[in-house]
């Protein structure tokens, strides 16, 4: 029996009128101007839900082909409603979470033998060999989950599941999902309508098709990786079936699921519109990833064309739309945001999930802005390396000629480098807003200097007051002044 249609049932959490509520997919699109944003604590859920909405829009609207088309929708204040209604009516039967022949994003005939707990769908929940991140649920006390949460978890899993061993239905291991190891870039506006407009990249239907426009997958399609599709096409990638899943309905919720392989991706020359790429030493373009050790902004320069990187198409599209609106006088102060969303993984283990928020000023990808951003980031890294050397000098002065491991551990225990980067985490968004404007370099030089001096002041307090400590501080201060003087010489 068909049940829980995702177009109508409430399952997408949104902020509207100051309140968080759940809406169906159809309402999210048709009333997007009334909705402030998708509101979820999970950065993975935020990215996956936006990709689903964007896939529907691209197919329903058959575009956009040019920025002027997006600009016209902006002026109208809403999407073309009838094409969206007609499209959703055409595929309404494919959006049931439970369906005998075509359950949404699932495989109807996956056998129920050896079911897995539904919590395997979410990396933040304890399941199998997942480390516990934010949850203390165990498989022994697994609670039943409602249909809305199960649907969101399914979407997250298909978008972010890492690769690794599978050993089901003739498949020993499987590749990761499209965003398993990449950061997703989501430009944001003042409401959901603007956010979706910013992320609509130039699109032609071509051979692309989302999952609900193709025949439903069956177990025989997935056994032994029988079905292989090229990993290309905007909406195909946004709705990629990374794994075969069948949620097992208990009448009023879900506790277990049937599980198996998904479609085997064929590598082709295609760039995910939400992903940034950098060039490695061999000239290959690799997706930019998030890191446990540092905030994403420190890698911001790696994706820029000046270093042969490639910014995400969504940021290009937003930048182009902001420029168009400014030229048309439609939005004289178009300051918007940029969210960097994703997970940090070590092979199949998820170590962290991140949401980093930055401003997105107009012309952030202009040549002038790029020319200033690259050197600014390089100077920050150079001073950071200098402070790391300073910390090691202090360790040697305090401990003498100890073992390298002991010296390194002492140096790492000092707050110097850690506080320096922490201060710059707070200053970088302001640099981004000033980028390309007069005084942006001077602002950043002062931010670097202030961050280094504040970190040094905290290190002085933490080090101690013995004779060897005071001697170390004297030598350290001389090196710090030398590092800052080098900065001043570069500035001049």
Whole-structure pTM value = 0.91
Selected residue with higher pLDDT from 320 and 140 = 320
Torsion angles phi and psi, residue 478, rounded to 5: -65, -40
pLDDT of residue 392: 92
pLDDT of residue 404: 79
- Average confidence (pLDDT) over 253-282: 93
Inter-residue contact 361 to 433 (CB < 8 Å)? yes
Selected residue with higher pLDDT from 23 and 140 = 23
What whole-number distance in Å separates Cα of residue 309 and Cα of residue 76?
35
Average pLDDT value over all residues in the chain: 91
- Condensed to tens digits (0 to 9), the pLDDT of residues 182-207 reads 999 999 999 999 999 999 999 998 88
State the pairing for strand pair 277-279/264-266: unpaired
- pLDDT > 90: percent of the chain: 72
- pLDDT > 70: percent of the chain: 94
The two structure tokens encoding residue 485: 């003087």
Q: Say whether pLDDT at 491 is over 50.
A: no
- Condensed to tens digits (0 to 9), the pLDDT of residues 441-483 reads 899 999 999 999 999 999 998 888 888 889 999 999 999 999 9
Strands (E), 50-109: 96-98
Q: Say whether pLDDT at 126 is over 90.
A: no
Inter-residue contact 5 to 212 (CB < 8 Å)? no
- Condensed to tens digits (0 to 9), the pLDDT of residues 409-437 reads 999 999 999 999 999 999 999 998 888 78
How many Cα neighbours within 13 Å face the side chain of 198? 28
For residue 347, name the pLDDT band (cuts at 50, 70, 90). confident
pLDDT of residue 128: 52
What whole-number distance in Å separates Cα of residue 59 and Cα of residue 61?
6
The two structure tokens encoding residue 325: 């609106």
Q: Say whether pLDDT at 124 is over 70.
A: no
CB atoms within 10 A of CB 13: 21
pLDDT of residue 351: 87
Task: Give the residue from 456, 424, 190 showing the smallest Cα distance to 325.
Answer: 190
Q: Is 396 exposed, middle or buried (0-12, 13-18, 19+ CB in 10 A)?
A: middle
CB atoms within 10 A of CB 240: 24
Output the CA angle 320-321-327, nearest 5 degrees: 90
What whole-number distance in Å separates Cα of residue 460 and Cα of residue 475?
12
Inter-residue contact 423 to 416 (CB < 8 Å)? no
């Amino acid at each position: 029996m068909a049940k829980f249609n995702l177009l109508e049932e409430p399952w997408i959490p949104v902020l509207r009128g100051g309140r968080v509520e759940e809406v169906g997919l159809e309402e999210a699109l048709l009333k997007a101007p009334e909705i402030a944003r998708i509101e979820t604590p999970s950065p993975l859920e935020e990215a996956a839900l936006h990709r689903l909405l964007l896939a529907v829009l691209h197919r329903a609207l058959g575009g956009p082909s040019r920025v002027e088309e997006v600009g016209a929708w902006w002026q109208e204040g809403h999407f073309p409603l009838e094409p969206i209604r007609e499209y959703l009516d055409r595929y309404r039967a494919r959006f049931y979470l439970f369906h005998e022949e075509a359950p949404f994003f699932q495989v109807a005939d996956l056998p129920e033998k050896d079911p897995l707990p539904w919590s395997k769908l979410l990396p933040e929940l304890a399941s199998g060999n997942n480390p516990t991140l934010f949850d203390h649920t165990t498989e022994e006390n697994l609670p039943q989950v409602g249909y809305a949460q199960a649907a969101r978890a399914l979407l997250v899993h298909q978008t972010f599941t890492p690769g690794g061993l599978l050993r089901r239905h003739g498949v020993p291991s499987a590749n990761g999902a499209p965003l398993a190891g990449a950061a997703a870039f989501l430009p944001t506006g003042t409401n959901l309508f603007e956010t979706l407009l910013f992320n609509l990249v130039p699109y032609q239907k071509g051979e692309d098709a989302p999952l609900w426009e193709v025949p439903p997958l069956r177990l025989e399609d997935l056994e032994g990786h029988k079905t292989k599709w090229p990993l290309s096409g905007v909406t195909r990638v946004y709705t990629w079936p990374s794994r075969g899943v069948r949620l097992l309905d208990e009448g009023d919720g879900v506790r277990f699921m049937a599980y198996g392989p998904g479609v085997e991706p064929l590598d082709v020359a295609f760039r995910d519109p939400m992903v940034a790429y950098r060039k490695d030493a061999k000239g290959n373009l690799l997706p930019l990833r998030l890191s446990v050790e540092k905030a994403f902004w420190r890698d911001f320069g790696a994706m820029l064309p000046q270093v042969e990187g490639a910014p995400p198409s969504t940021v290009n599209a937003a930048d182009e739309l902001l420029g168009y609106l400014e030229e048309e006088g439609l939005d004289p102060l178009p300051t918007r945001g940029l969210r960097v969303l994703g997970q940090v993984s070590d092979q199949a283990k998820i170590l962290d999930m991140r949401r980093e928020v930055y401003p997105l000023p107009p012309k952030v990808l202009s040549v002038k802005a790029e020319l200033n951003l690259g050197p600014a980031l390089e100077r920050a890294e150079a001073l950071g390396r200098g402070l790391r050397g300073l910390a090691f000098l202090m360790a040697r002065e305090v401990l003498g000629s100890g073992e390298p491991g002991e010296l390194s551990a002492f140096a790492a225990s000092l707050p110097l480098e850690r506080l320096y980067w922490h201060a710059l985490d707070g200053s970088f968004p302001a640099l981004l807003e000033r980028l390309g404007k007069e005084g942006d370099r001077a602002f950043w030089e002062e931010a670097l200097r202030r961050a280094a001096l504040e970190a040094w002041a905290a290190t002085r307090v933490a080090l101690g007051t013995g004779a060897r400590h005071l001697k170390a501080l004297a030598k350290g201060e001389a090196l710090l002044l030398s590092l800052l003087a080098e900065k001043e010489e570069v500035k001049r």
